[in-house]
Amino acid sequence: MTKLPEGSFSIRPAVSQDLDALAAIDAVCFPPGIAYPREEIAFLLLNPTVITLVAERSGVIVGLAALERRRRTRQTARYGELVTIEVLPQFRRESIGGALYETLETRLREWGGSSIRLHVSVENADAVAFYQRLGFRVIDRVPQYYLRRVDAWQMEKDLL
């Protein structure tokens, strides 16, 4: 378990018993159609290639993050696909999202990962600013990625 600097939050791996709390947070953080169906969150929790973390304050889950460990082929580089990072609105700008990300990045580096990729809606300026601050750069614009309507930025960060 990782203590955050202020000492009032902690980060731990998610477990299957967290499913209800994670689905509730996801439904608050994303609009219908973009929020993950409950079954997909359950799949994240069961999938051994996915690292899923929760942030807790006083024993209550206030944020989550997930990253899938991938290899392009057996011989080539290992990398991570950031699935999500989300913090309940009333707990934002307290470094929780950043701490969740840093923990995932550390875990990926330990596994030998050399880069992290993600998709984010071009309409989600808050998240784009958050990822740019973490060192991600835009590498592509993917048309109609969300709901077959909204484009996504594909962003990447090298861990070298």
Ligand X SMILES: CC(C)(COP(=O)(O)OP(=O)(O)OC[C@H]1O[C@@H](n2cnc3c(N)ncnc32)[C@H](O)[C@@H]1OP(=O)(O)O)[C@@H](O)C(=O)NCCC(=O)NCCS
Q: Which residues bind ligand X (CB under 6 A)?
A: 29, 84-87, 92-98, 120, 124, 126-127, 129-130, 133
Q: Which helix (H) or strand (E) holds 104?
A: helix 96-111
Smallest gap from Cβ 55 to ligand X, in A, equals 8
Could you tell me the smallest distance in angstroms from the CB atom of residue 138 to ligand X? 14
Identity of the residue, 133 or 137, whose beta carbon is nearer to ligand X in the bound complex? 133
Nearer to ligand X, 56 or 86 (CB): 86
Closest distance to ligand X from the beta carbon of 119 (Å): 8
- State which residue, 79 or 130, has the beta carbon closest to ligand X: 130
CB of 158 to ligand X, least distance (A): 19
In sequence order, the β-bridge partners of residue 61 are: 56
Question: CA 154 to CA 160: how far, in whole Å?
Answer: 19
Query: Which residues lie across from 56 on neighbouring strands?
Result: 10, 61
79 or 153, CB closer to ligand X? 153
Contact 25, 63 (CB under 8 A): yes
Q: Are 49 and 70 in contact (CB under 8 A)?
A: yes
Non-local CB neighbours of 138 within 8 Å, separated by 6+ positions: 153, 154, 155
